[in-house]
């Protein structure tokens, strides 16, 4: 006998199940549901599948996932909702595999689709492109080919229904000029926040009103990160390795986590790093300067998924990720995220934000994502802000007068004094040894500028909390 769980549906999930059943009854083969990250797309899809099974509309459920961690989450949820096995073995109600796994099981899957009434659920369908012949689009090509082997019902799900390469999404309908994606049901972030289905996010962008960049014998002054980047005197990738800036951002993220933990002691933080070396150094910085625990998970680790699962139920303070905790990973106790990724697409930015939106126990739980005020990230944050309830919108500019007081670098007598020029250099990925402070991130120059960040003039832009 399986453990009993609360299987009650949220209002949006009930409405979406009803809408999907009506759409399928009209003869439409595909149903497209767009729902905010953390809103409960998997629970909705499992409930819809259960209804179709009980009414004998389908015989089998086949789910596809973009990653192993999402695959595991889907299998667990479907097993609970269906109160049955969901492992593809004899007598199971269905199976979930990754998109990558389709190529290895194509013939077996095609046999099932040809001979049985199947519901195919494609989670995070934006990973599958349509109409593009390339190795990167293999998932989309295989999925479309597999479905053409029979006439299955299809359910496509996404929280971010577009692709960074601007190509169309597989299995979806587009119309108009410019072409617009057809959706059957949309439950956006604003809806989820209003209904207290998702946390209300704080988007905190750190900026500096006194920046000096020195090239050769000339010094350029800027009043914001945006201004310095747009003048092509500062690169975002260089900012991510600048010791003063990085330390201040991590200190702000630490302070946010401490503040949240006063009421939610099990809250944890996520750092999305730009490289494996940076992740390791940030982890050591957290441990040595904040006296907090931190683990690193990266795509090159064999046991990365196991480490993520262990972190979910642990009391560890921080998880530092490179390409692992961006989409579909369910760690509800994450309430603070430091965004230090080189990736500056709206798709990825929103996916990372989704990792801290999922409610753990209380709909009033706060969550904060901290990043630098880079032009594209400002633009994305403003658009996210527009998705949120208007009555909650507030924009503040706060002068942080003592932000550096709690940083370890301020206590380091060898660190630069206020308004001194700090050497900023990019890092080499060949290093394998450890460092105990972020100062050592600025090593091995491949491109060197001198930049002065006035420590007492960092300001914080808070968008729609």
Comparison of pLDDT for 263 and 423, the residue scoring more: 263
Give the largest CA-CA distance in the chain: 78
CATH code of 23's domain:
3.40.50.300
Q: pLDDT grade, residue 114 (50/70/90)? A: very high
Give the separation between CA 265 and CA 256, rounded to whole angstroms.
Answer: 12
User: At residue 153, does pLDDT exceed 60?
Assistant: yes
Q: Are residues 181 and 318 located together in one domain of the fold?
A: no
**Total domains present in the chain:** 2
Q: Are residues 263 and 315 located together in one domain of the fold?
A: yes
Chain centroid to CA 287: 24
CA atoms in the 13 A half-sphere facing the CB of 238: 19
Which residues, 6+ apart, have CB-to-CB distance to 33 below 8 Å?
Answer: 16, 20, 41, 44, 45, 155, 156, 157, 158, 183, 184, 185, 187
The strand ranges marked E within 400-439 are 422-425
Give the separation between CA 310 and CA 8, rounded to whole angstroms.
Answer: 27
Cβ neighbour number for residue 413 with a 10 Å cutoff: 5
Q: Are residues 258 and 170 located together in one domain of the fold?
A: no
User: At residue 425, does pLDDT exceed 70?
Assistant: no
Q: Are strands 395-399 and 458-463 parallel, antiparallel or unpaired?
A: antiparallel
Q: Evaluate whether residue 2 is within a structural domain.
A: no
Phi, psi dihedral angles at 306 (to 5 degrees): -65, -40
Q: Are residues 175 and 218 located together in one domain of the fold?
A: no
Phi, psi dihedral angles at 297 (to 5 degrees): -125, 130
From the list 297, 291, 296, the residue with the least C-alpha distance to 281 is 296
CA torsion sign for 282, 385, 125, 69 is positive
Per-residue pLDDT of 395-405, as tens digits, reads: 223 233 333 33
User: What burial class does residue 193 get, using C-beta atoms within 10 Å of its C-beta: 0-12 exposed, 13-18 middle, 19+ buried?
Assistant: buried
Q: Are residues 214 and 334 located together in one domain of the fold?
A: yes
Cβ neighbour number for residue 390 with a 10 Å cutoff: 9
Per-residue pLDDT of 120-146, as tens digits, reads: 999 999 989 887 655 557 899 999 999
Given a contact cutoff of 8 angstroms between Cβ atoms, the answer to whether 39 and 198 are in contact is yes
SS3 439: helix
Stretch 56-67: mean pLDDT, rounded? 95
pLDDT of residue 243: 80
Q: Are residues 263 and 124 located together in one domain of the fold?
A: no
Q: pLDDT grade, residue 6 (50/70/90)? A: low
Per-residue pLDDT of 367-423, as tens digits, reads: 999 999 999 999 898 888 877 664 333 322 323 333 333 333 333 433 333 333 333
Q: Are residues 320 and 429 located together in one domain of the fold?
A: yes
Q: pLDDT grade, residue 451 (50/70/90)? A: low
Give the separation between CA 76 and CA 222, rounded to whole angstroms.
Answer: 52
Over the Cα atoms of the chain, what is R_g? 24
Stretch 312-331: mean pLDDT, rounded? 81
Last residue of a domain, one of 187, 218, 253: 187
pLDDT > 90 fraction of the chain, expressed in percent and rounded: 51
Stretch 15-41: mean pLDDT, rounded? 95
Give the separation between CA 348 and CA 322, rounded to whole angstroms.
Answer: 13
Q: Evaluate whether residue 394 is within a structural domain.
A: yes
Last residue of a domain, one of 125, 153, 187: 187
Q: 214: domain range? A: 198-463
Q: What letters, b where the CB count within 10 A reaches 16 and e where it falls short, cover 2-20?
A: eeeeeeeebebbeebbeeb
Which residue's structure tokens are 């989820």? Answer: 192
Comparison of pLDDT for 432 and 286, the residue scoring more: 286
Q: Which structure tokens are listed for 96?
A: 């979930």
pLDDT > 70 fraction of the chain, expressed in percent and rounded: 80
Last residue of a domain, one of 145, 167, 187: 187
The alpha carbon torsion through 380, 349, 38, 59 (nearest 10 deg) reads 110
Q: Evaluate whether residue 4 is within a structural domain.
A: no
């Amino acid at each position: 006998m399986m453990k009993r769980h609360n299987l009650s549906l949220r209002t949006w999930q009930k409405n979406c199940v009803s809408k999907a059943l009506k759409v399928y009854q009209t003869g439409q083969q595909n149903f497209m549901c767009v729902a905010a990250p953390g809103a409960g797309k998997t629970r909705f899809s499992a409930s819809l599948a259960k209804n179709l099974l009980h009414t004998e509309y389908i015989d089998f459920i086949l789910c596809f996932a973009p990653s192993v961690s999402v695959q595991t989450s889907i299998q667990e949820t479907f097993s609970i909702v269906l109160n049955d096995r969901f492992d593809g073995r004899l007598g199971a109600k269905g199976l979930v595999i990754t998109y990558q796994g389709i190529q290895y099981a194509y013939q077996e899957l095609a046999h099932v689709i040809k001979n049985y009434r199947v519901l195919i659920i494609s989670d995070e369908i934006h990973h599958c492109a349509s109409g593009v012949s390339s190795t990167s689009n293999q998932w989309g090509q295989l999925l479309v080919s597999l479905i053409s082997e029979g006439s299955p019902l299809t359910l496509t799900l996404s929280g971010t229904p577009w692709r960074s390469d601007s190509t169309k999404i597989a299995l979806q309908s587009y119309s108009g000029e410019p072409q617009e994606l057809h959706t059957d049901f949309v439950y956006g972030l604003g809806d989820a926040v209003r209904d207290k289905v998702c946390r209300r996010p704080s988007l905190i962008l750190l900026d500096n009103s006194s920046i000096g960049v020195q090239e050769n014998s000339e010094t350029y002054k800027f009043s914001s990160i945006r201004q310095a980047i747009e003048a092509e005197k500062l690169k975002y990738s260089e900012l991510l390795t600048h010791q003063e800036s990085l330390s201040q951002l991590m200190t702000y993220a630490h302070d946010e986590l401490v503040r949240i933990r006063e009421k939610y002691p099990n809250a944890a933080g996520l750092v999305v790093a730009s490289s494996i070396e940076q992740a390791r150094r940030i982890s050591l910085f957290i441990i040595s300067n904040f006296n907090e625990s931190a683990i690193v998970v990266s795509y090159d680790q064999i046991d990365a998924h196991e480490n993520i699962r262990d972190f979910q139920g642990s009391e560890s303070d921080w998880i530092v990720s490179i390409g692992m905790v961006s989409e579909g990973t369910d760690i509800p106790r994450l309430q603070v995220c430091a965004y230090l990724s080189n990736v500056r697409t709206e798709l990825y930015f929103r996916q990372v934000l989704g990792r801290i939106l999922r409610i753990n126990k209380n709909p009033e739980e706060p969550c904060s994502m901290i990043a630098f005020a880079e032009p594209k990230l400002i633009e994305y944050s403003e658009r996210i802000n527009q998705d949120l309830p208007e009555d909650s919108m507030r924009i503040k500019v706060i002068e942080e007068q003592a932000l550096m007081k709690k940083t370890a670098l301020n206590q380091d007598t060898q660190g630069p004094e206020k308004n001194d020029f700090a050497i900023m250099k990019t890092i080499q990925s060949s290093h394998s040894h450890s460092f105990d402070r972020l100062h050592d991130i600025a090593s091995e120059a491949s491109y060197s500028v001198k930049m002065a960040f006035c420590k007492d003039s960092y300001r914080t832009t808070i968008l729609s909390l």
